Structure 1
């Protein structure tokens, strides 16, 4: 229906779209065609073969499915946005694109059969595939990109550790009440800021301590084991964490890594205690310097200063420095009692970066860039570890490892196969634009063709990614 009033012609919006007759009898059409990139990249980096070797003893009887391939399919499904083991149906029901995929029951049996020793082999297999991916990046592009902060590239590698809470809505083994009055798990994770890769993670009960030094040491050691030898020993490694990573035992462990030939330094948060407050109040105005934005420009109403020598750091590694940042909070911000007293928000951190290796402003901007790990974790919760499938803790620990593998596949796809905005996009955008693309399967000339719609806005980016994938050098077998 239409109407005309005062010279305006209105069209009923329900008549602006063509009429459709919907049925479920189509053939040759596939969805999530771009997810085939992740599956093929698993083969190209050797992830599938190394997972196969790691899980060789767990081949399900009578199914014919390779256990390593099942694990890879689960990681691909999680990277694609799946949330439960049953979501493997999306891959399984499109055999023309993804080949034979295990049933839900077979996948469950595999997860239940992976004990701590098999899980350790999976981690080693992931490290082997990572080394291949980094070699491919070195041969086909500029290699592993540098992390940035304060308008400049940071040397070497930057590792960010942080914990997060995952709510469990049912009784699960070792799930417990959290410090935020929730119930669930409290995993501790480590991401590589250079590429967004998920290096390591440990599943912990919900009541696990946020600043437990032993857990931080375990995750850091697992993360370092994921880094290829040439990068682990040939370049500086910066380890960042919030105040939960400021335990003395953890910082001393970072220092002892020097004896293993790993050039490490730390940048960790520090609590604003009463002695710190007194030291800040005692600072003369002339020692405060303008803070920097992440692009290197001056940050309005924010300043930094050094507190080293004004605070007792007994028990901390030699050379530990204390740096403080103050900023006038934006309207509506929640302030602590100290902020109300001073009218400024203060943040303090420790670093053992020697003098002469960056200004105080740059060191503060470098530490503040640790906040990017919160985005990694938020995205990771849509890539598997936002919910756990089983009542059994060990199965959920394996699930976490496969979720980290899915995050790696997304990061390797961006490093090796994509350019422009998509090379730094979050998983949500990658799924919408590339992975969840629909296509049509055709046959001709003894070839199986995947035809992407000529009107899809990101068709060129997707086809270019498949072209780069085909050109990747393959690991020796």
Structure 2
């Protein structure tokens, strides 16, 4: 009921149907928006196939939610989205089309409603240039155990797909929201600027507007690993006026520059526990000026091809146990580098860039909500399935954001259910038993009083109702 009420609160089903408009058949009992939302609910509570829509039958039988589509109806809706798209004959990837734009537009409407329910903690209000809203772009692998359309060997020698995802990072004490999932063949490359630009465009189409009505600009930070460190993508971010923190491959001149740095340039690394490392052991440094005046000789990249305000930040530390050192490393220490257009101390910029590790966990969460198993044979039908998996994770995120805006007064950080993994959430809260009671023409639910997390569940439901 927690996620069903969240879906009803943000109106995601009606928002998707409104955005699709005439692109779906009239007089449908189970519209595309309703079907996607029902499937998303089933995936969020542990389903991994269209037939798992039956997990919602108890809620239908007790009158808590409306009737649900059958698994064959889900296949038909996905096939309709499959037929309505366009595909470039020179590319195996999904390209922007009317149906994709409509689904993302519907999610934008629902996300806007969810963020407004956070009131003072609305991410579209709190984002500033000094404290931007972060979007992580990263790829993952989805294995395929049968020969599906465009399933191919991956760079890790597996077989399946190589989707590219974009996920909003709300911070360590909050959750993350997937904004785009671009399904790609398994042999899709990592440094594909066109795919990164497409995912970024889809993200901007599903992002609520900033409350002041102006463009996001540098109040939105795009963060990627070295796979996004292509010249084309970095210049695109600069042209869009967005802030960026992008990993980039090192070149041999960086090691020479690092070996000549003085102690005044080096700054200790901020560890996860808040302590700062000794610069003799590990450090970060801004080497922008040294890269630009490197002895009058060319460096590993052509600086004129990049934005003029791009800064180079290096991180030098001992490699993890068993890690293979590279020729560009220095004195047995690993050198990593990222570029950014943000102001501030190098150690703070590095701390923010390293926080992109949370994206890995959030990708696992999306895969646990349905992306990890693509059931269809057709490629574009699996892309439609990926939208439902994205919506399933968003329902958890939206319910969590609304609840976190006014948490229960007695909760501790260990009880912040909005940062739990989906499996943990299902075991601790979504599986709490309840009895439906009918009295005075009203339906009431009485939850198991012995359940350890009953109060958290009741507060979440109450919070969703109070924001309606």
TM-score range, shorter chain: 0.7 to 0.9
- The yes-or-no answer on 1:130 pairing with 2:130 is no
Q: 1:397 to 1:294 in 2, by over 3 A?
A: same
* RMSD, aligned CA: 2.5
Per the alignment, residue 226 of structure 1 pairs with 206
Which of 376, 386, 395 is equivalent to 1:409? 395
Following superposition of structure 1 onto structure 2, how do residues 74-85 of structure 1 map, counting pairs within 5 Å?
Answer: 74-85=39-50
Q: Secondary structure at the match of 2:347?
A: helix
Of 294-303 and 243-252, the range deviating more from structure 2: 294-303
Partner deviation per Cα, 1:88-116 (whole Å, 9 max, x = no partner)? 11013541233311111111111111133
Query: How far did residue 225 of structure 1 move?
Result: 1.9
The 8 Å contact of residues 147 and 158 in structure 1, kept in 2 or not, is answered as: no
Alignment equivalent of 1:241, drawn from 202, 224, 227: 224
**Shift in Å, 1:164:** 0.8
Unmatched segments (≥5 aa) in structure 2: 86-97, 292-298
Give the match for residue 251 of structure 1: 234
TM-score normalized with structure 1 length: 0.83
Larger radius of gyration: 1
Aligned partner (choices 306, 326, 332) of residue 316 of structure 2? 326
Summarize deviations over 1:255-307 as a string: whole Å, max 9, x none. 1113xxxxx21111111222323322333455322111245431463211122
Cα distance in 1 for partners of 2:51, 2:22 equals: 24
Q: Does 1:102 align with 2:91?
A: no
Q: Secondary structure at the match of 2:223?
A: strand
CA 1:121–1:63 in structure 2 vs 1: closer, same or farther (change >3 Å)?
Answer: closer
Which digits, 9 at most, give the CA deviation of each residue in 1:149-180, with x for residues without a partner? xxxx9612111111111111111111111111
1:375 corresponds to which of 361, 371, 375: 361
CA spacing shift, 1:67–1:286, aligned 2, 3 Å? closer
User: Counterpart of 2:187 in 1: which secondary structure?
Assistant: coil
**SS at the partner of 2:444?**
strand
Contact 1:146 1:157 in 2 (8 A): no
- The separation in 1 between residues aligned to 2:26 and 2:238, in whole angstroms, is 48
Matched, 1:67 2:42: no
2:312 aligns to what SS in structure 1? strand
Partner of 2:93: none
2-structure distance, mates of 1:56, 1:80: 29
SS at match of 1:229: coil
- Matched residue SS, 1:197: strand
- Residue 135 of structure 2 contacts residue 169 of structure 2 at CA under 8 Å; is this kept in 1? yes
| Residue matched to 1:33 | none
Relative to structure 2, which stretch is displaced further, 424-433 or 77-86? Answer: 424-433
Is contact 2:154–2:186 with CA below 8 Å preserved after alignment?
Answer: yes
CA contact (8 A) 1:178 1:207 kept: yes
Given the superposition, is the C-alpha separation of residues 289 and 170 from structure 1 closer, same or farther in structure 2, using an over 3 Å criterion?
same
Matching of residues 30-429 of structure 1 within 5 Å? 36-55=1-20, 64-95=29-60, 96=62, 97-114=64-81, 115-116=84-85, 117-138=98-119, 141-144=120-123, 155-194=131-170, 195-230=175-210, 233=215, 236-258=219-241, 264-294=242-272, 296-299=274-277, 301-311=281-291, 312=299, 313-330=303-320, 332-338=321-327, 342-353=331-342, 357-418=343-404, 419=407, 420=411, 421-429=416-424
Q: Aligned residue for 2:295?
A: none
1:434 alignment partner, SS class: helix
SS at match of 2:118: helix
Compute the displacement of 1:118 (Å).
2.4
TM-score by length of 2: 0.84
Please give the alpha-carbon distance, in whole angstroms, between the structure 1 residues aligned to 2:374 and 2:198: 22
Worse overlay, 82-91 or 58-67: 58-67
**Range moving further from structure 2, 464-473 or 307-316:** 307-316
Q: Mind listing any 5+ residue stretches in structure 1 that lack a counterpart?
A: 1-35, 259-263
Q: After TM superposition, what 4+ stretches of structure 1 lie above 6 angstroms from structure 2?
A: 58-63, 145-148
